[in-house]
Amino acid sequence: MRIFIGLILWFLLLVFCWPLALIAIVVFPILWLLLLPFRIVGFTLEMVFKFIGALLMFPFRLLKS
């Protein structure tokens, strides 16, 4: 559904201001590629923090059962 709404908004932009729509369709993949390393680092840090949290909570989970 999110892709469909984005596509409809892009078509509206194409109708009302086609140069801006063409710039957006060229810039978006470049911006996505530039931000990809930050997403990978964020995902990695999230997994590290979940692992540390699970490691710290492990003794309490053993005592609980």
Provide the domain limits for residue 35.
Answer: 2-64
Q: Positive or negative CA dihedral for 37, 43, 45, 47?
A: negative
The Cα 20–Cα 30 span in angstroms is: 15
- Report the pLDDT value the prediction gives residue 40, as an integer from 0 to 100: 97
pTM of the predicted model over 0.85:
no
The count of structural domains within the chain is 1
The pLDDT confidence band at residue 21, using thresholds 50, 70 and 90, is very high
The Cα 27–Cα 36 span in angstroms is: 14
- Report the pLDDT value the prediction gives residue 64, as an integer from 0 to 100: 84
Tens digits of per-residue pLDDT, 33-62? Answer: 999 999 999 999 999 999 999 999 999 988
Q: 19 exposed, middle or buried (CB, 10 Å; 0-12, 13-18, 19+)?
A: exposed
- Report the pLDDT value the prediction gives residue 42, as an integer from 0 to 100: 97
Residue 23 pLDDT exceeds 80 = yes
Among all chains, which residue has been given the structure tokens 């957006």? 24
